[in-house]
Amino acid sequence: MSVLIQFAIGLIFGVGLLISGMSNPAKVLNFLDLAAIRAGSWDPSLMFVMLGAVATAFIGFRLVLKRQRPLLGDTFHLPARNDLDPRVIVGPAIFGVGWGLAGFCPGPAFVALGYGTLASVLFVIAMMIGMAAARALAERQPTLATPSYE
């Protein structure tokens, strides 16, 4: 049953990405092109999508974490650390550069595979290679390993 619930949640998320335009790299790049503000061609619509996502997560986390345990699990898995380390700086920086260059981030990239474009296929392949490289690096250098969770 939980697999069906997870599938439904993923499907709703994917449809939301399609409707919002987050899976369209041209729309994302038009949003990220702040120089276009002066020209009047900047597309601010994704700002509202992001604000809606942040508000939903903010409220959702506050409500969910009041529970004793998750609905579909035994315990919550929350980070035990809250300090900034190089991974917290470098990871998002790499993510931002990739997002700005390609117009994709991981979730929308998988949704965009449905378009069958070469760009989405190449992005997902490059993302998988990057994930494998990061995992291999973390295994070679224990200080870069995944942080501990409660």
Beta bridge partners of 79: 149
Kindly report the pTM of this predicted structure: 0.71
Tens of pLDDT, residues 73-89 = 889 888 887 888 887 88
Look at residue 108 and tell me whether its pLDDT is greater than 80.
Answer: yes
Q: Is the dihedral of CA 36, 57, 138, 111 positive or negative?
A: negative
Q: To which residue do tokens 């470098």 refer?
A: 90
CA 30 – CA 37 distance, rounded (Å): 10
- Model confidence pLDDT, tens digit, residues 40-97: 889 999 899 889 999 999 999 999 999 999 887 889 888 887 888 887 888 889 888 8
